[in-house]
Copies of this chain bind each other. A is one copy, B any other.
């Protein structure tokens, strides 16, 4: 297809697509003569992915570019690509957690037999969030943390089972999309469930 069709099918303006091409977010089309190029379904799919990452997951283009590099890197197994994409998704400046919160996260991870790859930011992110809660006098108790951990394990197992792609790039894209786009799903559901639990408690 030509650029005009790529634009109408992806819902993105031509200048935006050209910008993604220049920035290397989108692979080049097949050259046809000196000034035209033709595009295929792989371009459309990548544009939809970029759009979902920016519009729904609200990532900046800079972070999208780093996540896509991990998806595209043929040297990474899909587990490593996931870890690598994950590492790029953490906050850029997590506040420093208290030693108590770090120790608490370490105990939790031992109890659950959770281990993380090198450079994964999630344990620090978790400890920083617990620090902030403790500073406000809203430290969650161990029962609540375990409820969260049970929920996280149940969801993760079900998600990993659901991956049926055998192609590495497809599988990595699935996991990255699932991680990012299912986060709004999970948070929206938690807020819905919370409003309902609160209404039923009728306090």
Q: Which residues of A contact B (CB under 8 A)?
A: 45, 48-49, 51-52, 55-56, 58, 77-79, 82-83, 86, 89, 91, 95, 109, 113-117, 120, 122-123, 125-126, 128-130, 132-133, 135-138, 140-141, 143-145, 147-160, 162, 171, 174-175, 177-179, 181-199, 201-203
Quote the shortest CB–CB distance from A117 to chain B (angstroms).
Answer: 6
Kindly report which residue of chain B lies nearest to residue A78, judged by CB atoms: B203
CB–CB B196/A114 < 8 A? yes
Quote the shortest CB–CB distance from A173 to chain B (angstroms).
Answer: 8
- Cβ-closest 9 pairs across A and B: A151-B151, A156-B193, A152-B189, A126-B188, A152-B193, A129-B184, A156-B197, A160-B197, A56-B132
Apart from the given pairs A79-B202, A130-B185, 14 other A-B contacts in the complex at a CB distance below 8 Å: A58-B91, A126-B189, A129-B182, A129-B185, A136-B177, A138-B181, A140-B182, A145-B185, A147-B155, A151-B152, A151-B154, A151-B189, A175-B198, A179-B194
